[in-house]
Chains A and B, each alone.
Chain A
Amino acid sequence: MSAGRELGRRAARALAVDDRAPRYEAALRDEAEVAAALTWAAADRLAVIARGGGTRLDLGNVPRAYDVALSTAHLGGIVEYEPADLTITARAGTPFIALQATLAENGQFLALDPQTHPGSTIGGIVATNASGPCRLRYGTARDLVIGTRVVTGNGTIARSGGRVVKNVTGYDLNKLYIGSLGTLAVLTEVTLKVSPRPREERTLAILMPDIDAACALTYRLLRSALTPTAIEAAPADGEAVCVTIHLGDRRVALDRTVRDITAYAAEAGAGGIEMLDEDAARDALDLLRAEPVAPEGGLRVRLAVPIGEVAWAWREIASRARAAGLAHDIRASSGVGVLRAAIAPGDGALALVRALRALVREHLGTLVVERCPTAMKAEIDVLGDPGDSQIIAQRLKARFDPHGIMAPGRFLGRL
C-alpha cells in the first residue's frame, strides 16, 4: 500500500528542499493518516520531510535522502479553546494567522511573533522554534507549548504534556520536538498557553550614536522595573543604531515607562526619541521581525550570545564583513542576545562564517546559518558544531527514528 501520491517532475520541483526533489507527496488530513504514511515510509525506507506552509525549509543541512513530502497543511483546525483557561489546542496545520484571529476575538493572543507568511502553520512554527521580538517578555515556544501530539518515525502516535499550564506528569517531550525540524517525529497537534492582549501598546524609536550605546540602554532597561515587550536594534546612518522599544500595559504604567525610557536614553546619549503612531509602529515591528534579506547567492546567519556580548558580536560581524568586502545588514534582539545578519555573496563568505562561529564560541555563543546556497551546505554544518552532548542526540534520533527516515541528515551533526 502506498500512502503517498507519485509526483510529476514539476510538482516534485515545487516541493524540493535544497535542490532535492521528492518522489511522493502525502497530504494528510488526520493523525491516523500521518501514522499510516509514516508506517508505509518506514516499511519502504523512504525518507520523509514534514512541511507545514513550507516557508522555513531552508533551515538545516542538506537532507541525505528525500522521497516523501509529508504535508500537514490540510491537518488544521482548533481542537479546543477555553478562553478562561488561557490555553488553546490546535492541529499542526492550523494557519498561524487563523489561530491568532480566533484568539483576537476574545481579546487574547499567542505571544509568538516570528515573521510569518499566509501559509505559515503553528506546527511549522513550533518545529522550527520560530520566534520574534516579543520573546523578550513572553519567551519562546519552550515557554508556551504545554502539550503535543506527534507521530514518531516508526508510526507511533504519542502525546506529551497536556492542557494544563503547570504539569510535571511524565517527561517533557514537548521540549524535544520544539525546533527539531521534523527529525524525530511529525507534530500533529499543539497545545499552547495564550495571553490577554495588553490594554494599550506604544512603540518608541530611539536613535543611539552606536551599538555600544544601544546595548547600554538595553541593559539599563533590563535592570529596571520596566517590563518592555521588545527591544530591537537596527542600523541607522553611519555608526548610529535605531533602538525600537515596544510596550504593552495600562496607561498609567505606560506613561511612567515612557518617562523613564526617555530619561535613560538621554543619559545613554540618545540623538532623538520618537513615539510612533499606530501605523508607523506596525510597520516598524514588521520590519524588525522580518528576516534580513541577502541578495541571491548570499546568506543569512543567526547568532545567539549572552546579552552582554551583543555589542561585541555586532561589531565583529560588521568589521569582518567589511574587511572581506561583503555588504551586510544586521539586526539584534538586544534584550535577549540574538543577532541576525544578511551577508552578500562573495568569495570570503564561507571563511567569514567559520571565523565568526569560532569567535562567537569563545564568547559562549552559537552561530546558525539559516539560509545559504546549497553548495555551501556541503562545506559546513549550518546548525553549528555538535558539542559533547551529541551522543545523547544521536541516541534520541536512533530511538525515535529507528529506520532513519525522518529528514535524515538535516539536523545538527547531520543527524
Chain B
Amino acid sequence: MDAPGVVILGAMHGPASTPRRTLAERRALAERLGEIVGPENVLWSDYDLMLYEFDGSIDRAIPDAVALPASAEQVAAIVRLCNRERVPVVPRGAGTGLSGGALPIEGGVVLSFSRLNRILEIDLPNLRAIVEPGVVNLHISHAVAEHGLYFVPDPSSQKASTIGGNVGENSGGPHTLIYGVTTNHVLGMEIVTAEGEIIHTGGKAVDAPGYDLTGLFCGSEGTMGIVTKIVVRLTPVAEDVKTLLGIFETIEAASQTVSDIIASGVIPAALEMMDGLALQAVEAATHAGYPTDAGSVLLVEVEGMRDGIEDLVEGIRALCDRNGAREVRLAASARERALLWAGRKNAFSAMGRISPDFYVMDGVIPRTRLPEVLAKIDEVSRRTGLRIANVFHAGDGNLHPLCLFDGDVPGQTELARQVGAEILRICAEAGGALTGEHGIGIEKRDLMPLVFSDADMDVMRLARQAWDPTGLCNPGKVLPTPGLCLDVTETRHGRAVLVGW
C-alpha cells in the first residue's frame, strides 16, 4: 500500500522541481564542497538529490547540492563558501519535519548531519550530555538508560528525528505537559553563524550572563545559523508509571474530564485524547486494544514515586466515572502500556487505513476552549464533507486535527488545504496559536498574520537579521515576505490563503 500523503498549505512554490542551478554550476559548487568534506560526501546528481526533495510534508523543493560535514569546522567552511557564492544553506536532520522546514525552497546547499552523530560526552556528576546534531533523539535516552536517566522531550518521531532537528523546531511530544519542551532541556550550544564563525552559547551551568541566545535559537527553524553541538539536561526516570485509558461516548465528556483533572490540582505526565474516527484508524493499524465504537478516549499517564501513585490513579478514575466514562482501564503491564502508546504515537500514519491521504494540523488553544473549538471543527467537517479525525495533546491544548481526503479526487486537495487554514483560524480566534510543536516552516508562514501584527513580525525579523543579516540560512521560512502576506481582515474562511500566488 502506498504511504498516505500529506499536503501542506504553502502555495508559493509549485510541485516538482529541478535544481535552480545548471549542471555546470552545480558541478563547480560540488567541487568546492568536495574540497571541504571530501568528494564522497557531496551529492549533486539529479538521482542523488531526489531523496532530499522531500521532508515529512508532501511539498517538495530540490537542493543544488547536499553536503555531509563531519565537524563544526567543515560546517563553518561550507557556510563561508555559500556566503561568498550567495548560495542558501538549509540544515536537515532526519527530514521528519511536518512543516517543510528542511526543504530548500530557494535552492542551495542542504547540510545533512548523518556524519555529525556522536554523543560526545555523558557527564553524570553534572547530569548533562553533549551531543552532535545528527544524534537521534531516542539514542540519547538509550545511552543513559543504564544510569536511570533519560532525555525528556519525546516527539512521536523520536525513533528517527535528530536532536538538531528537535532544537530547530523546539519539538514537544506527549510527555512535555509537565516537563516542558526541547528548549527547557537544552542549556547550551555551539553554533556556526551565517558568516561561518563558530560561537558558543550557554553551557553546562544555568543562568549564563548576557542575552539568552540558546533560548532564542531554539525553535528558529534553521533561520539563525547551524547548531553543531548541544548541551542537554539528563533527568532521572520516574520510579513508577501508570497509564489509564478512559473510554467515553462523547468528545465533550472526555474534554470535561481533562478540565476536571487539571482543576483537581493534578498535572499528569501525559494527557492525550483521540476521537472515534481516529480510534478506528489506530485500532486497525496497531491492534492496541482501543475501542472502535467509542466517541473518544483519554490516555492519561501519571508518574513519580510509587507511594501515592495509586491515589492519583483512583482520583483520575473517579473523575472519568463522574463524566460518564463507559470504562476506565489501567494498563496492567509494561507491554500493554507500550501498545497503547504505540497506537497513539503511530496515529498519524494509521490514517492510511481509513483514508488515501490526510493533512495534519498543529493548532494550540487554551485548554478551557477545547469543547467549543472541537464543536467548531466538527461544524467545518459537516459543512465541507471532509472527515476530520482528532488526535491531540489535550493537557496542553495542542490539537492535531487530521483532515482526511483523496488526492485523486479533483478538488479534494484544495479543499483539505482550505479546511486546514480554517481550523487554524478557529484556533487563532480562540486565543490560540498556529503551531504547538511542528513549526511554521513554509506551511504556515503566510498564516502568521492570523496571530501576529506586522509590527510583531517586524520585531521578529530584527532578531533574525541579527543572526543572519544577508538571509543565507533557510530563506523563505517562518516569516512571510513583507507586503506579500494576506490581508486577514478581508479574508473569508481562509480562502485567500489558498489561492495560488
Contacts and interface: CB of A to CB of B under 8 A. Distances in A.
**Residue among B184, B203, B308 with the most chain A CB within 10 A?**
B308
A336 B465 contact: no
Contacts of A196: 265-267
A165 B365 CA distance: 9
A391 B207 contact: no
Given A164-B436, A389-B213, A412-B210, A306 B366 contact: no
B209 A384 contact: yes
A253 B462 contact: no
B400 to A, nearest CB: 12
Contacts of A383: 209-210
B367 A84 contact: yes
A83 interface: yes
B193 A392 contact: yes
A186 to B, nearest CB: 13
A242 interface: no
A172 interface: yes
Interface in B169-225: 169-170, 172, 176, 180-181, 183-184, 191, 193, 197-201, 203-216, 218-220
A273 B235 CA distance: 27
A252 B457 contact: no
A58 interface: no
Contacts of B128: 306
B209 A412 contact: yes
B265 A253 contact: no
Interface string A385-410: 01111111101101110000000000
**Residue among B267, B304, B444, B453 with the most chain A CB within 10 A?**
B304
A311 B51 CA distance: 52
A100 interface: no
Nearest to A412: B210
B205 A304 contact: yes
A306 B183 CA distance: 18
Contacts of A390: 210
Nearest to B438: A168
A157 B396 contact: no
Interface string B447-481: 01001110111111011111101000000001100
B393 A166 contact: yes
Given A84-B259, A172-B170, A164 B366 contact: yes
A169 B448 contact: yes
A162 to B, nearest CB: 5
Contacts of A170: 440, 448, 451-452, 456-457, 460, 478-479
Q: How large is the interface on B (under 10, 10 to 19, 20 to 34, 35 or more residues)?
A: 35 or more
**Residue among B125, B126, B210, B214 with the most chain A CB within 10 A?**
B210
Contacts of B397: 85, 164-166
B455 A157 contact: yes
A274 interface: no
Contacts of B203: 364
A173 B368 contact: no
Contact of A305 (B205, B367, B434, B452): B205
B39 interface: no
B245 interface: no
Interface in A148-206: 152, 156-160, 162-176, 178-180, 184, 195-197, 199
A388 B193 CA distance: 11
A312 to B, nearest CB: 11
Contact of A175 (B172, B215, B263): B215
Nearest to B169: A168
Interface residues of A, number: 87
B469 A395 contact: yes
B311 interface: yes
B416 to A, nearest CB: 21
A386 B211 CA distance: 11
A411 B176 CA distance: 33
A97 interface: no
A250 interface: yes
A78 B238 CA distance: 36
A307 B349 CA distance: 42
Given A164-B365, A168-B436, A172-B219, A178 B448 contact: no
A160 B180 CA distance: 18
Contacts of A86: 262, 267, 367
Given A176-B216, A253-B305, A391-B197, A166 B436 contact: yes
A383 B211 CA distance: 11
Interface string B128-164: 1000000000000000000010000000000000000
Interface of A: 82-87, 107, 129, 139-140, 142-143, 152, 156-160, 162-176, 178-180, 184, 195-197, 199, 219, 222-227, 249-253, 255-257, 304-309, 336-338, 364-366, 368, 383-384, 386-393, 395-396, 398-400, 411-413
Given A86-B262, A168-B169, A170-B456, 4 more contacts: A84-B262, A164-B398, A224-B236, A395-B466
Question: Shortest 3 CB-CB distances between A and B: which pairs?
Answer: A175-B215, A308-B125, A225-B239
14 contacts: A158-B456, A158-B459, A159-B452, A162-B431, A164-B431, A165-B396, A165-B397, A169-B448, A176-B216, A199-B265, A249-B308, A256-B305, A398-B466, A400-B462
